Amino acid sequence: MTWHDLAKRATDIYDNSLKKTLELFPLDDEALKEFESLPSARGKTVEDYGSPAKVPIDVFREKMPEKSLAITEKDPCELLQDLKSGKVTCVQVLTAYFHAAIFASKLVNCIYEFLPEEAMALAKMLDSGDKNLPLYGLPLSLKEMIPFKGRAVTHGSLCYLDRVVDYNADIVNILVSAGAVPFVRTTNPQSLMMLECESWTHGRTVNPYNSSLTCGGSTGGEGALHGIGASAFGLGSDIGGSIRCPSAFNGIYGLRSTVGRLPSSDYFSCQLGSESILSVTGPMTRSLALLDLVMKTITDSSPWLVDPSLYPLPWKAPKKEKLKIGILYDDGLVAPQPPVARALKMVAEQLSKMSNVEVVPFKPYKHDKAWEIITSLYFEDGGADTRSTMERSGEPMLPQTEWILTGKHVKPLEPKGIWSWNIEKVKYRKEYLAHWLSQGAPDAVIAPVFPGPACKPRTSRYWGYTAQWNLLDYPGMAFPVTTVDPDLDAPVKDYKPRNEMDEFVWKQYDSAESFANAPVALCAVGLRNSDETVVEVAKILEKK
């Protein structure tokens, strides 16, 4: 069987699940006609990237059935109250979100697989049961690499199409018990190790605000689905920016939690079993209040009694009356592009006007060393396991996969080499903590998520603004700030790059018009286990 045959099997999974969804949650004749006429980001094959609309979200809002849009456009926390009061039923809400996801899947190619039968059964059960559940009836989307009973987990690799699991991830069971309804599995890229979303299992997922830009990755399908407004909340994973980048690129909220706060030890990935740099999970959503509720709901369930790798830490709102917040304007290696530089100034100005916030400068500390350490530990086998997934299926290695695997620090390590780099990791963490305290011991630091807004496909080569915090295991809360403004965000013409990567990133931002409509976001970062604080910082800015 060729890799093309396997790719056809993968797209058949999507097509068959779409067919079943339309049987159980049918569109009326007019809506079906609109759906069939939509410009499609899904091509005839995974090598064909379709002909997406220039601004998919505008088409989505124009063409979606009004009855369904009235439900999906409502703030999810307000919708939750409508569900609990009986104003709408779980089946009605699920129907609206399935319709939204169907439209979104064609416009931005964000769905790997629909879950219509499981979702309908669960929604009907909830409608006849106890409404006093914290997430009662809210549709939940899941990154494809998260185990879901009866479904194959590929994490973007064709060789795993037969890896069907017989269990749900622990966190999925927790959320279902809390009333959430899993309804779709979203796209992720080949090998997971890219800040974009392209694979031979689905093709390419595009940005809902500008289809010539990436949606980010590796939780790219989630980012695009939420950005277009077709899920209440979802789960992603993050080992180098995979929650924060797609959240930033699609103008939503996303939390990279501290290792040990949320259960994810049963997730799949390449290098499964490696513990030098651990991936974490976290919520993604348009609603900051819902993100906060999801975190509280999960920790209220005492997940440490299910997953022994977790800390027994409840979710508690910070009690400090005044927060000290640092601003990292630049990591000293790659300068932010004009839209992100403007966003940093905007947020610094907003915070400086607040009586309950003290703003302090924050300088970087050897961020180049952090990249050297983390890229040495990402692939302790030199990338052999990741390469083997492609060799087994025969699928071509995509450019972004090749870029990360051929980095100058990626090489196979013997046990002593792994130990040595882990010693360097611990040493650097201690040094950075001392540096953090020397900068005024801020409660949080505002920093870029990425040098710019969403980038063009196959150009996301700088992870430094996110992977830095993975190495340190600091929580990061991505939050939207503004959008690219052609009048304010013109390229810097006479810039003198500091290094090769800085020059590459600078040249990518060729004009503000190329990035029109793109969301611009930042990240609140804190010391380990200060997850509640970084969420609080986002709340302060949201209120402003």
- In angstroms, the Cα distances linking 87 to 127, 231, 268 are 12, 19, 39
Provide the 8-state DSSP code for 27.
Answer: P
Helix residue ranges, H only, 229-305:
244-249, 288-300
Active-site residues, by number, are: 143, 218, 242
Closest CA to 454 of 223, 139, 189, 168: 223
SS3 294: helix
- Give the Cα separation of 544 and 191 in Å (integer): 39
* Residue 240 marked as a ligand binder: yes
SS3 91: helix
- Give the Cα separation of 404 and 409 in Å (integer): 10
**Rounded (10°) CA dihedral 189, 194, 196, 198:** -30
- The sign of the CA dihedral 403, 407, 411, 413 is negative
Tokens of 519: 């969301």
3-state secondary structure 358-409: EEEECCCCCHHHHHHHHHHHHCCECCHHHHHHHHHHCCCCCHHHHHHHCCCC
Q: Which residues pair with 237 in a beta bridge?
A: 281
* Residue 237 marked as a ligand binder: no
* Residue 241 marked as a ligand binder: yes
First to last CA, the chain: 57
Helix residue ranges, H only, 210-354:
220-228, 244-249, 288-300, 338-352
The phi, psi pair for 279, rounded to 5°, reads -80, 150
- Report whether the peptide linkage leading into residue 141 is cis, meaning its omega lies within 30 degrees of zero: no
Is there a contact between 172 and 146 (Cβ–Cβ < 8 Å)? yes
Is there a contact between 142 and 261 (Cβ–Cβ < 8 Å)? no
* Residue 218 marked as a ligand binder: yes
Tokens of 517: 């409509």
Q: How many other CB atoms are there within 10 angstroms of residue 298's CB atom?
A: 25
- Considering only CA atoms, give the Rg of the chain: 22
Tokens of 259: 């290792």
State the DSSP H helix or E strand holding residue 285, giving kind and residue range, or none if neither.
strand 280-285
CA angle 246, 249, 250 (to 5 degrees): 85
Residues of the binding site for substrate: 192, 218, 239-242
Residues of the binding site: 192, 218, 239-242
